[in-house]
Amino acid sequence: MFNSWSAELRRLFLLLTVAVLLGLPFDHPWFMAIMVLAGYLSWHLYNLYRLYAWLNDGHRFHPPEASGIWGDVFHLLYRLQLRNRKRKRRLTGLIKRFQEATAAMPDATVILDADGTIEWFNSAAQQLLGLQPGKDVGQRIVNLLRHPQFTRLLSKGANSEPLRIPAPDDDCVTLNLRIVPYGREQRLLIARDVSQQQRLEQMRRDFVANVSHELRTPLTVMSGFLETLLEDEQEYAPHLARSLGLMQQQASRMQHIVEDLLLLSRLETERSVPPHEVVPVTTVLGVIEKGIMPLAEQKQQSLSFDCGKELSIYGAEKELYSAFSNLIANAVRYTPEGGTIQVRWYRDAGGAHFEVQDSGMGIAPEHIPRLTERFYRVDVGRSKASGGTGLGLAIVKHVVNRHNGALRISSTLRKGSTFSIDFPGSLIVSEE
Ligand code: ADP
């Protein structure tokens, strides 16, 4: 490139020198130089015109023939054009493959701009969301998917939990909707048909609830009889009395499991109903304190409640009682004799907080994320020996979710654990 540029400069210099030398005998060297420069300029203008005509003509791909610097200019532009064509072909292929892939996707995908206006959607979005190609692009999605929860999901934006709503055209189809932010304030709406999953979950819930319900009566009867039999314990042979005692212990454990399973399935089915009674939490904690104190005294533990004056929240009293007592009972059960347990209930700018801190055995970090799963126990033997059902923290998690709260667990092995529940400030009942 620079070779031809210096060659061009050399050519101009040579032309001018020849013109001046030829003009010298006639006493007009400058006139000859100007004539040569005029010819040189005409040659450039002519080639400039050819370049313009070539770029203007969309049909002609190959550049015109030219010599000198213009030959190089045409050649370089031609190479640039070739490269652009190749890139364009590759991009077109990529877009085509992307469109084919998204069209084959069973999930509805809709691209939304910052205002929630539809920019593009795939064919699954036509079936699942009832969007019409050619008509709905450019429309705001909230005008087409009219559901209060969806409007809320869209305004919440990123990091919001997926939402389950019935499909707009078919109430029997349940959709799981997610909003994924990307690019410059753009969002991807992804909808998946989860009707089958929903039916299976419902079947599982019904099954557990029915089995628990059916087991409740026979267990109550068995327990009752065992209790009556054990009233005359001294009349039986020692091994028989011990067997009867064990039977009663196991029957009562099963009763606890059944009760917890029934409570869990109730919490699951009533998930969408927000509880709205005024719960005097300080008083509720006082009741729990009275109930649990004898157990803590038996284990020579120092159990203290730091609750201040009455602080009430909106919620479901029975559920909150169950969550708080589960956490406090766990702390007492999993803290060895002579340990310390501190319960706190207070409010700050972030909302209302419940906290149980113990100096117990602690939990290894790998177990913490799984503690709220049903029947998950760190130490099965210890849990059963202390009368645990393995459902306590699952119940706590559900209750906390139903109150829009957050459960936090922090623990250090052999040092102790802290279980906290944060309730949003909106649930606090203001004192008049
Ligand atoms: P469980 O009825 O077995 O106590 P939970 O769901 O209440 O069931 O608790 C699950 C598991 O979490 C327990 O088995 C126990 O291993 C562990 N855990 C719960 N609370 C504590 C605590 N305060 N200290 C140590 N481990 C705990």
pLDDT tens sequence across 90-149: 999 998 998 888 888 889 999 999 888 999 999 899 999 999 988 899 999 999 888 888
Nearest C-alpha to atom 23 of ligand 1 is from which residue? 331
Residue to mutate (ligand 1; options 322, 330, 367, 407; most atoms within 8 A of CB): 330
Arithmetic mean of pLDDT over the chain: 90
Ligand 1 atom index nearest CA of 361: 25
pLDDT tens sequence across 281-320: 999 999 999 999 999 999 999 999 999 889 999 999 999 9
- In this prediction the pTM is 0.69
Residue to mutate (ligand 1; options 327, 368, 377, 409; most atoms within 8 A of CB): 377
Nearest C-alpha to atom 21 of ligand 1 is from which residue? 330
Residue 169, φ and ψ in degrees, nearest 5: -100, -10
The set of residues, in sequence order, having a beta carbon less than 8 Å from that of 351 and lying 6+ positions away, is: 422, 423, 424, 425, 426, 427, 428
Q: Output the CA 388–ligand 1 centroid distance in Å.
A: 8
Predicted pLDDT at 157: 63
Ligand 1 neighbour 416 (Cβ under 6 A): no
Which residue would you say has higher pLDDT here, 103 or 205? 205
Query: What percent of the chain shows pLDDT beyond 70?
Result: 97
Nearest C-alpha to atom 2 of ligand 1 is from which residue? 388
Ligand 1 neighbour 23 (Cβ under 6 A): no
Confidence band for 197, pLDDT divided at 50, 70 and 90: very high
Average pLDDT of the segment spanning 46-60: 87
* Radius of gyration from C-alpha coordinates of the chain: 40
Q: Output the CA 373–ligand 1 centroid distance in Å.
A: 11
Q: Is the pLDDT of residue 272 over 60?
A: no
Predicted pLDDT at 59: 74
pLDDT tens sequence across 330-360: 999 999 999 999 999 999 999 999 999 999 9
Ligand 1 neighbour 260 (Cβ under 6 A): no
Residue entry with tokens 């029947």:
375
Ligand 1 neighbour 361 (Cβ under 6 A): yes
Ligand 1 neighbour 379 (Cβ under 6 A): yes
Ligand 1 neighbour 393 (Cβ under 6 A): yes
Q: Is 376 exposed, middle or buried (0-12, 13-18, 19+ CB in 10 A)?
A: middle
Ligand 1 atom index nearest CA of 391: 6
Ligand 1 neighbour 331 (Cβ under 6 A): yes
Ligand 1 neighbour 339 (Cβ under 6 A): no
pLDDT tens sequence across 4-27: 888 989 999 999 999 999 988 988
Residue to mutate (ligand 1; options 359, 372, 383, 420; most atoms within 8 A of CB): 383
Nearest C-alpha to atom 13 of ligand 1 is from which residue? 377
Ligand 1 neighbour 358 (Cβ under 6 A): yes
Q: Which amino acid is at 54?
A: W
